[in-house]
Structure 1
Amino acid sequence: MEKKHLAKILFFESLYLWAASLGIGILLGVLLYRLLFLVLMKLTGLNGTIGFAFSAKAVGSTMLLFGLTFVINFLLSLRQIHVSQPVELLHGGAQGEREPKTKLLTAVLGFMLLGVGYYLALTCQSSMDALDKFFNAIALVMVGTYCLFSAGSIAFLKILKKNKNYYYQTRHFTSISGMLYRMKQNAVGLANICILSTGVLLVISISTCLWTGIEEVTYTRFPHQISIEANTGVSGIMKTVEPVSQKMIEEVKTGIDQHLEEKQLRKKYESDQRYYVMLAAVDRNKVEKTQSDDAAASTLIKIMEESEYNQVTGEQVELEPGQALVFQAKQKNYGYDTIELGNQTYEVKKWNTDKKSYILDEKTQVYETMTVVTRNKEAKEAYAAVQGKEPEGYSWEYALDLIGDAGEQITVGDEIETILTESSFNGWVEVREKERNTVYSLYGSLLFLGVFVGVLFLMGAVMIIYYKQVSEGFDDRKRFQIMQKVGMSRKEIRQTIQSQVVTVFFLPLAVAVVHTMVAFPLTRRIMAMLNFPDSNLFLVATAITIAAFAVVYLIVYVLTARAYYKIVE
C-alpha cells in the first residue's frame, strides 16, 4: 500500500465523517430549537410565537466551519503520511515508547503560574478589582494547569519511582510504569478535562445561584420602591450633566410631595442623601487623586456635610475645626486616628453609631466605599484637597417607599420622571416593580446561557474521557497479556488496572475542585457586581454543583471503566 492509497482512504473517511456530523447535527438542531426556545421564553418571562425557522445562511456557515475543521485535520494527517513510511505507520503501535524526560523548568513554571493565578483570585479587594483580575487569573491558571499535567505529573511519578519501598510493590510497579511511559500523550487530555470540568463547576454554580436568588437580586439592585439618583464628579463621567444644587433638589422634592398629596398616597419610608463624591486612591489613612487607568484599585469617597449626616441619621454630631467622621463598609472599621485628604489632615473623631443605613454593605459594592463627614464649610475644601478643584455640584440619592400597590408605585415613578424632564434637573428614576421584568429577563437569559455552556463543557469532557479510556484500553491490552504470561494473576492485573484508571480519571476532578474553591473569593466579587450579595447561598450552590458534578463524573467513570476492562481483558 502506497502513500497515495493511505491519503485516499483518509480523504473519504474525513468526507463521510463531515457529511454524517453535519446531517445529524443540523437535524437535531432543527428538532430541538423549538424546545430550547420554549425554555428560554419560560426563563425570561417573555412572550413569543414559535414557528418553523430554517436559515440557509446558518446552515452554510456551519458547513463552512466544519469543512475547514475537517480540512485542517486532513492536511495534518497528510503531513504525517508524507514524513513517514507506510510500514512505519502500520507497525508504529508495536514500537516501544521512550521514558519521558523530566522537564523541571516547565514544572516549576507551572507551579509559579498557578501560584500567581491563585494569588490574584484570593487577594481581590472589590468587584472592580475582581473584574480587572478575572481574565488574567483564568489565563495563568489554564497555562499553569497544562504545564503541571505535562511536566509536573511526570516529575511526581519519577519521585514515586525513586521511592523503592513504594515503587517495587507489584501493584505500584506496573501502574506507575504504565502511567509514566504514556503520561506524555495523556497530559494534554487530562488538562483539557480539568479545565472543562472547572468551567462546568463555575458556570453552572454562578448561573443557577443567580436564578435561585433572583428575588434577593431584585431587592439588592432596587432596595426601595422608587429611587432617584444624580451623580456629579465621579471620574468626570458626568461632565455633560448640569451640576446639582440644593435649590434644584428642593424643587424636585416639592413636586413629588405635591403629587403624592394629590393622589392621597402616604410615605412609608424616605431617605435623602446629599454628598460630594469622587474616586480616589486610598493607602492606609492617605487619600490621593487616582489615575484614570487605575479605576479598579480605586475607592469611592463620599464627603458629606455635618448637617446632612445629622439629617440622615437623626443624630446630633458637632465637629470641631479639623475633625471628621470616617465610616467604611460594615465589615471594616477605620483604624487610624487621622485621615489625610490630599494635603489636608483631619483628626478622626470616635463616634459609635448603629445607624449605618447610608453605608453600603461591602459585599454589594462595585467599589470599596468610604464616607467622610466634615464640618459644612470644610466639605468642599476636603474635596478640593484631593481633586485639585472644588466639586461642581452635589450627588443625590433619594429613596421612597409608599403605602400602595405596584400600579400606584409605577404611576408615581412615571410622574417623577415627568417632573425631572420638565425641570433642569439631570438624574434618573428607577421603580422596582417596573424593572422587575427586566431583571427576570436578564438573569433568565444568563441561566439559559450558563446551563447551555455548562452542558457543552460537560459533553466535551465526557467525550475526551471516553475516547481516552478506549484508546488506553487498546494500548494496554497487549501489555497486560504479557503480564499474564509472566505470571501475574487476573486479580493482580485487575488491581493494577483499577489503580491506574482511578488515578488518571479522578486527578482532573480533584484539581478542578481546587481551582473552583480558590476562585470563590473572585467569583463572589463578580456576583456582587451582578447584585447578588448572599455569599453563604453562593457557597452552598457551589458545593451542591460540585457534588452533583462528582456524581455525573462517577457515572461516566463506571461506564468507561467497563469498556476499558472489556478491551484489556
Structure 2
Amino acid sequence: MNSVHNFLFYPRLALTNMKKNASIYRPYLLAGGLLAGLLYVLDSVGVMVEKSQMAGKDIMQVIVEICGNICMLFVFLILFYINSFVMKRRKKEFGLFCVLGMEKKHLGFVLFWEVLIGLTASLLSGIIIGALFSQAMFLLLLKLVELPGKLMFTIPFQSVGRTCLIYGTAFSIVLVYDLISVSRANPIQLLKSSETGEREPKTRWFMAASGTAALAAGYGIAIHTRTASGALHFFFPSVILVMAGTYCLFQAGSVAILKTLRKKKDFYYKPENFVAVSGMIYRMKQNAAGLSGICILSAAVLITLSTCASLYVGEEDILRNQYPREISLYAGAENAESLPSGVLDHENAHQPQQVPEAILSAARSLALEHNCELENMMDFYQLSFNADYNGNRIRAVRGYDPGTLMVYVLTLSDYNRNNDGNAILAPGEAMYYAPAVTLGDSVDLCGLGYRIAGRLEEFDITQLPGFATPRDLVLLILPEFADLQDLARSSRGILGEEDGNRIQVSYHCFFDLKGPAQGQAGFQAEFKDRIPGITRGIARDQIRTEFYQLYGSILFVGIFFIALFLTATVMIIYYKQITEGYDDRERFQIMEKVGMSTAEVKNTITRQVMMVFFLPLGMAVIHIIVAFPAMCSLLSIFSMYNTRLFAAFTVGSVLVFGAVYLFVYRLTARTYFKIVQE
C-alpha cells in the first residue's frame, strides 16, 4: 500500500504543480494539442489521398508529404522554444523543492510525470480534434482541386501511430533537456534563476554594423533580382541574410538606439520614457531572440498567405498564360522526314513548310469530322536555347544557372503575322525584345553576326506558351527561316553532338475549337493520334484538372503553414508578455511607492508594451515590401504575371494579419497588466 502511495505521489505532485501554474501550462497544452492536431490531419489527409482513386493523386500526395515533413521540424522547434519559457518560470519552484529536502532524482520523477501528462493531454486533444476535422480538411482539399467528394468518418490508425511517434520523440527530447538543465544547477541557482536580471548590455557596434550590413545585403539582393533564375537561386540566401540582420539589429542595434535616447535628457528624464527605455535596455538581450522570432514568423505568415492565395485565385490566368488556346501542337520543323509516308513529299522533305501544311490539313479534316472549326489560330517557327550574355556576345550553354538567359528566336514573317505588324529587316539584321538586358548596335549570336535594327518595347508573352520566366527572356526576330536553321547549327556546334542535338527549330501551332461540346470532346480525344508529325499535343481542358490539383494543393498546405506560424507567433508573444510582466512587477511597484500614480504606471506599461510588440510587425511589413519584386520574379516561374493580384493579396494579408496581431496583443496585454498590478 505504501509503495502504491509512493508511486502516486509524483503524478499527483505533477498535476498539482501544473494546476498552480495554469497561466503557463494552459497555453502550452493548447499549443501542444493544436500542433498534434495539425500533424494528424496532414498525415491522415495524405493517407486518404493515397487510398483514393482520384486522378492526379500522386502530385497531391507528394505536396502533402513535403508539408508534413516541414511541419514536423517546426513542431519540434516550437515545442522546444515554448518549453524554455515554461522552465524559466518553474526553476524557482524546483529550487524550493530541493531546499525542502527533495533530491534531484525526485525532481526528475516530477518532470517525467509533468512531461508525460503534457504529452498525453496534447496527443488526446490533438488526435480527437484532428479526427473530427480530418475528413472536413480532406473535403476542403477536394474542393480546392475541384474534385467531387462526400463526408465520411474514418480514422487512419497509421496516422495515429505516426503522430504518437513524432510527439513522443519531441517530448522525450524536451524531457532530456529539462533533466540535464536541472541536474547541472544547484538549489540556490534554481531559486534565483527566474529572478536573475540581465546586466546592462554593452553597445556592440560590431554586431550592429554586421546586422546592418547583412540586412542591406539581403535587401539589395531582393531589390536587384529581376529574373526568375536569379530569384530562384538568390532569394533564399537573401532570406538568410535578412534573418541574421534582423536578429543582430534587434539585439545590438536596438541597444545602441536606446542608449542614444538615454543620452537625450529632455526625452529620457520623463517618467514614462525613463521607465520604458531603462527597462528595455536591461532586457534587450533577452528580448532580441523573441522579437526577431516574432518578426520573422510574421513575415513568413504574410508571404505564405499572399503567395498561396494569389496562385490559387490566379490559376486560370496561369493556365491561359501557358496555354493561350484550347489546343497546342508542337512538331520538329527543320525537315519533314518524321511525317508519315502518305503525306510526305520525299523530293522536298527538306522543305519546312511541309510540316505546318500536313499538321493543319489533318487538324481541319479531324475538326470537320466532329462538326467543328478551327479559330483564333496562331502558329510560328521557333528556336530556343539557354545562353550566356557578355556584352553583345550571346553563346549557347548547357543547363540553366543564375544569369543564364532564355533565348527565343522567331522569323520576321511569323512576328508580323501574329502581331499585325509590318516590320522590315534586311539580310543580316535583327530586332529584339529583352526586359533585363540591352544590346548595342550589333550582336554576336553563337558566332553569327547581326546588326540591331531596333528594339521592341512590348511583346505579348503568350506568344511563347509555356514560357514561365519573362524577365530572363531575350527574344530575337531574324529575317528568314534559314537564319533560324543556321543559328541552330551554330549552337549545336558550340555544345557538341550530345547536348546540341536537343537544339532544333520547332513548329508551334495553337487554335481554339468552334462547335458543339460533344464534337470538341471528340476532337480532343483523337487529335494526338490523328494529326501526323506532332511531337506533343495538349488540350487545355484536359490539363486543367492537373492545374487545379497543383495549385489547390499548394493553397491547402499553405493553410497549414499559416496555422503553424501563427501558433508559434502567438505562443512567443504570450510567454513574452508573461516573462515581461513578472520582470516588471517589482519595478512598477517601486515606481508607485516613489510617487508615480496608477494612471502614470499604466500609461508607462502601455507605451513599453506597444514599443516592444509592434516593432516586429512593422519590420516584417518592411521585409515584405522590399521582397515584393523578388517574389514577383519567383511567381513568374509558375507563369503568374498578374502583379496587381499579388499586390492586392499582399496588402490584404498585411491588413488581416495586422488585425489578428492586434487581437493577440490585446489578449496577452491583459495578462501582462494583471501580473504587473498584482
TM-score by length of 1: 0.89
Query: Is 1:507 paired with 2:611?
Result: no
Cα distance in 1, alignment partners of residues 309 and 171 from structure 2: 36
Segment of structure 1 superposing worse, 509-518 or 351-360: 351-360
The alpha-carbon deviation at position 506 of structure 1 amounts to 0.4
Query: Is 1:20 paired with 2:141?
Result: no
Query: Is 1:162 paired with 2:281?
Result: no
Alignment-derived partner of residue 566 in structure 1: 674
Contact kept, 8 Å, 2:430 with 2:454, in 1: the verdict is: no
Query: Is 1:381 paired with 2:381?
Result: no
Query: Is 1:298 paired with 2:398?
Result: no
Cα distance in 1, alignment partners of residues 415 and 593 from structure 2: 87
The alpha-carbon deviation at position 376 of structure 1 amounts to 4.2
Q: Which amino acid aligns with 1:568?
A: V
Cα distance in 2, alignment partners of residues 218 and 449 from structure 1: 21
The alpha-carbon deviation at position 184 of structure 1 amounts to 1.3
Query: Is 1:473 paired with 2:578?
Result: no
Q: Which amino acid aligns with 2:620?
A: A
The alpha-carbon deviation at position 406 of structure 1 amounts to 4.6
Cα distance in 2, alignment partners of residues 244 and 277 from structure 1: 20
Cα distance in 2, alignment partners of residues 94 and 354 from structure 1: 66
Q: Which amino acid aligns with 2:583?
A: D
Per-residue CA deviations over 1:75-100 (Å, capped at 9, x if unaligned) read: 22222222321122113334443112
Cα distance in 2, alignment partners of residues 381 and 549 from structure 1: 56
Q: How does 1:2-13 map onto structure 2 within 5 Å? A: 2-13=103-114
Contact kept, 8 Å, 1:327 with 1:359, in 2: the verdict is: no
Q: Which amino acid aligns with 2:592?
A: Q
The alpha-carbon deviation at position 266 of structure 1 amounts to 2.1
Stretches of structure 2 that go unaligned for 5 or more consecutive residues are: 1-97, 335-349, 495-499
The alpha-carbon deviation at position 210 of structure 1 amounts to 2.3
Query: Is 1:409 paired with 2:534?
Result: no
Alignment-derived partner of residue 378 in structure 2: 271
Cα distance in 2, alignment partners of residues 152 and 430 from structure 1: 56
Contact kept, 8 Å, 2:225 with 2:629, in 1: the verdict is: yes
Segment of structure 1 superposing worse, 186-195 or 359-368: 359-368
Q: How does 1:313-462 map onto structure 2 within 5 Å? A: 313=419, 315=421, 318-328=424-434, 336-350=440-454, 365=470, 367-386=472-491, 388=493, 393-420=504-531, 423=532, 425=533, 427-462=535-570
Cα distance in 2, alignment partners of residues 519 and 350 from structure 1: 33
Contact kept, 8 Å, 1:299 with 1:370, in 2: the verdict is: no
Cα distance in 1, alignment partners of residues 215 and 351 from structure 2: 49
Cα distance in 2, alignment partners of residues 408 and 263 from structure 1: 5
Cα distance in 1, alignment partners of residues 536 and 110 from structure 2: 67
Contact kept, 8 Å, 2:431 with 2:456, in 1: the verdict is: no
Cα distance in 2, alignment partners of residues 506 and 231 from structure 1: 59
Cα distance in 1, alignment partners of residues 141 and 431 from structure 2: 50
2:660 maps to which of 537, 552, 557: 552
Alignment-derived partner of residue 237 in structure 1: none
Cα distance in 1, alignment partners of residues 329 and 167 from structure 2: 52
Contact kept, 8 Å, 1:226 with 1:409, in 2: the verdict is: no
Q: How does 1:241-280 map onto structure 2 within 5 Å? A: 246-280=353-387
Per-residue CA deviations over 1:135-163 (Å, capped at 9, x if unaligned) read: 22222222222222222222222222233
Cα distance in 1, alignment partners of residues 163 and 418 from structure 2: 60
The alpha-carbon deviation at position 202 of structure 1 amounts to 0.8
Query: Is 1:184 paired with 2:285?
Result: yes
Cα distance in 2, alignment partners of residues 224 and 195 from structure 1: 42
CA-based RMSD: 2.9
Cα distance in 2, alignment partners of residues 334 and 493 from structure 1: 62
1:41 maps to which of 136, 139, 142: 142
Query: CA 1:333/1:511 → structure 2, altered by over 3 Å: closer, same or farther?
Result: closer
Query: CA 1:408/1:446 → structure 2, altered by over 3 Å: closer, same or farther?
Result: farther
Q: How does 1:122-161 map onto structure 2 within 5 Å? A: 122-161=223-262
Cα distance in 2, alignment partners of residues 535 and 117 from structure 1: 22
Query: CA 1:246/1:309 → structure 2, altered by over 3 Å: closer, same or farther?
Result: same
Q: How does 1:61-100 map onto structure 2 within 5 Å? A: 61-100=162-201
Q: Which amino acid aligns with 2:548?
A: Y
Contact kept, 8 Å, 1:305 with 1:375, in 2: the verdict is: yes
Contact kept, 8 Å, 1:110 with 1:146, in 2: the verdict is: yes
Contact kept, 8 Å, 1:363 with 1:525, in 2: the verdict is: no
Cα distance in 2, alignment partners of residues 481 and 88 from structure 1: 25
Asked which structure has the greater RCO (Cα within 8 Å, sep 6+), the reply is 1
Cα distance in 2, alignment partners of residues 317 and 547 from structure 1: 48
Query: CA 1:375/1:232 → structure 2, altered by over 3 Å: closer, same or farther?
Result: closer
Cα distance in 2, alignment partners of residues 525 and 290 from structure 1: 22
The alpha-carbon deviation at position 187 of structure 1 amounts to 1.3
Per-residue CA deviations over 1:198-244 (Å, capped at 9, x if unaligned) read: 111111111222233333233223211111134799xxxxxxxxx99
Q: How does 1:184-223 map onto structure 2 within 5 Å? A: 184-223=285-324
Query: CA 1:247/1:119 → structure 2, altered by over 3 Å: closer, same or farther?
Result: same
Contact kept, 8 Å, 2:432 with 2:455, in 1: the verdict is: no
Query: CA 1:540/1:33 → structure 2, altered by over 3 Å: closer, same or farther?
Result: same
Cα distance in 2, alignment partners of residues 483 and 495 from structure 1: 13
SS of corresponding position for 1:282:
strand
The alpha-carbon deviation at position 304 of structure 1 amounts to 2.9
SS of corresponding position for 1:270:
strand
The alpha-carbon deviation at position 413 of structure 1 amounts to 2.6
SS of corresponding position for 2:194:
helix
Contact kept, 8 Å, 1:41 with 1:48, in 2: the verdict is: yes
Contact kept, 8 Å, 1:214 with 1:443, in 2: the verdict is: yes
Segment of structure 1 superposing worse, 216-225 or 16-25: 216-225
SS of corresponding position for 1:388:
helix
Cα distance in 1, alignment partners of residues 301 and 188 from structure 2: 43
SS of corresponding position for 1:154:
helix
The alpha-carbon deviation at position 49 of structure 1 amounts to 4.7
Q: Which amino acid aligns with 1:282?
A: Y
Q: Which amino acid aligns with 2:404?
A: S
Q: Which amino acid aligns with 1:273?
A: F
Query: CA 1:162/1:320 → structure 2, altered by over 3 Å: closer, same or farther?
Result: same
Contact kept, 8 Å, 1:319 with 1:375, in 2: the verdict is: no
Per-residue CA deviations over 1:56-78 (Å, capped at 9, x if unaligned) read: 33323222322222222222222
Contact kept, 8 Å, 1:252 with 1:419, in 2: the verdict is: no
Query: CA 1:43/1:368 → structure 2, altered by over 3 Å: closer, same or farther?
Result: same
Alignment-derived partner of residue 239 in structure 1: none
- For this pair of structures, how many residues does the alignment match? 554
SS of corresponding position for 1:519:
helix
TM-score by length of 2: 0.76
Contact kept, 8 Å, 1:225 with 1:409, in 2: the verdict is: no
Query: CA 1:375/1:366 → structure 2, altered by over 3 Å: closer, same or farther?
Result: same
SS of corresponding position for 1:295:
coil
Cα distance in 1, alignment partners of residues 286 and 437 from structure 2: 54
